[in-house]
A and B are shown apart, each in its own frame.
Chain A
Amino acid sequence: MFTPIGDAGRAELVEKRLTDAITGGHLRAGDRLPSEADLARTMGVSPVTVREALLGLRSRGLVVTRRGRHGGSFVSDTADPLVFARDALRASSRLALRDLGAHYGALTMAGVRLAARRAAPPELVAMRARLARLDTDDPGPWRQSMDDLQLELVALSQSARITRDQMRLQAELSPLLRLIDVDPVQRGRQRALFERVLEAVEAGDEPAASEATERMVDETIHALDALHMAQDEI
């Protein structure tokens, strides 16, 4: 949910949130943004603040506004999550990425461990079937599907707090993972590691689930780190 920002004059925060949605691929090229009134109401800011934020997004080419019957604000056709991901990677440091990895790893391991303890086996059967059906040749829906499954898994911990934290960290990490997703070998590797996690959770094996999760996150962060170093070499 959008948590209310409060107070007038927070156009920059509104702009940042919408930018994150676009760069994270959650609002896709051509998608219509919620109406100004809805955004204002949900974020707890004035419509004027929302309008200011949209102005900023338009000037950066992220959003276009159309008037008339089918009017509204739309994500620009040129908004590309991969471009943004590369910029985000460049803007970050190796240290920051590894620390994000440590935080994400710690939380995900805790969530998966609890899931191993508290999940009902039928819940895992359905998830494993969906993972098996995932087309490794198609990078498009890949990231969304993997994020979905990862979140669904942590939700099996039965902890709302842990799940909320997982969502926040996934939102931070997920845009960067698109840079790794472009490599089909990496996608195949991720699928194999995640399959091991699901197997362990289905068996109720907490140490194995925890270890498999740590392995998966470590490999992911290692791949991002390698990409970051490769960028410096250009």
Chain B
Amino acid sequence: MATGLTTAPSAATATDITQRAADAVALYFAAHLPRLERHAADMARAIGAHAPGTLTASRIDDLIEPHAHGILDHPHEPVYGAGFIAAMDLLADAPSHLAWWQGNDRRKLVFPAQSVKQAIDYRELEWFRVPSTTGAAHVAGPYVDYLCSDEYTMTAAAPVVVDGTFVGVAGLDVLVDTVERRLTPSLRALGRPILLVNGVGRVLVSTDPRFASGDVVRSGRLEVVARQRCAAVDLDVVVAA
């Protein structure tokens, strides 16, 4: 039993709850981000060993494949997809390229017939754009990833930099389904409905029955009792009245 509390119990409890929720979320992403950044550094070394303008799509695939498998081989957390997405015109024989492996069978992503994916310009997509401009790792989502997984996804991406030049991002996909299953138990245990929202107010995980993953929480519609930013990811924990 808590004793010696001098602040109003419900307000203090809400703040305490959001902090503990934020810690649980940060812990979850800490299982992914540092690993991803290490692979990004290794990819940079492998790419850097080639003279500029000499790398081909097939060579990059060979270089990246072991790293993709390394990222997918997480000891205790499911990872749906992983690989490297090249900066425009990095490769000698293609203006853009994804070296990506995904699914239970670790299929290599090969651009297919019946879809518009071949031509998608990924430069504007959040998981590519943010690391390319900020130089820092970023977690994007939840969103429907029609380029790689075709599922509702969170994508973590870290910039790959060779001699100060941005050459692409190292990425990993986790299904929102997975994040929801991994985080819901610890969030529910906190005893109050919680929302985990991203930078545009979109709910990633909710234990609040009024909101579901994918809903955008508009600030006007919500009375926020407590809010806490999670460490190392652009996600906020919110307790709503």
Residues of A within 8 A of B (CB): 1-2, 16-21, 24-27, 32, 34-35, 38-39, 41-42, 118-120, 122-123, 126, 130, 144, 147-148, 151, 155, 157-160, 163-164, 167-168, 170-172, 174
Contact = CB atoms under 8 A, between A and B. Distances in A.
Contact of B144 (A20, A25, A155): A155
B146 A151 contact: yes
Given A21-B113, A167-B146, A122 B214 contact: no
B215 interface: yes
A122 B200 contact: yes
A210 B8 CA distance: 48
Contact of B107 (A1, A118, A119, A167): A1
Interface centre among B116, B146, B214 (most CB of A within 10 A): B116
Interface centre among B57, B110, B115, B216 (most CB of A within 10 A): B115
A167 B93 contact: no
Interface residues of B, number: 33
A26 B119 contact: yes
Nearest to B142: A158
Contacts, number: 102
A70 B223 CA distance: 63
B162 interface: no
A20 B116 contact: no
B29 interface: no
Given A118-B214, A118-B215, A157-B144, A174 B116 contact: yes
B144 A38 contact: no
B138 interface: no
Contact of A171 (B58, B116, B201): B116
Chain A binding surface, main DSSP class: helix
Contacts of B144: 155, 157-160, 163
Contacts of B107: 1, 41-42
A43 to B, nearest CB: 9
Contacts of B151: 160
B222 to A, nearest CB: 14
B110 A148 contact: no
Interface in B111-157: 111-121, 124, 142-144, 146, 150-152
B227 interface: no
B39 to A, nearest CB: 22
B118 A130 contact: no
A32 B143 CA distance: 31
Contacts of A32: 57, 93
Contact of B124 (A118, A126, A157): A126
B143 to A, nearest CB: 7
Contacts of A159: 144
A140 to B, nearest CB: 11
Contacts of A119: 216
11 contacts: A21-B114, A26-B115, A27-B111, A42-B112, A118-B214, A118-B216, A144-B116, A155-B143, A160-B144, A163-B146, A167-B150
B116 to A, nearest CB: 5
B32 interface: no
B229 interface: no
Contact of A20 (B114, B143, B202): B114
B119 A144 contact: yes
Given A1-B107, A26-B118, A118-B215, A158 B112 contact: no
Contacts of B109: 1
B113 A18 contact: yes
Interface in B176-221: 200-202, 213-216
Contacts of A42: 107-108, 110, 112
B110 A17 contact: no
Contacts of A123: 200
A27 B116 contact: no
A178 to B, nearest CB: 13
Given A27-B118, A38-B110, A171-B115, 13 more contacts: A2-B112, A17-B114, A24-B116, A26-B113, A27-B111, A144-B119, A157-B144, A158-B152, A158-B213, A160-B144, A167-B115, A167-B146, A171-B114
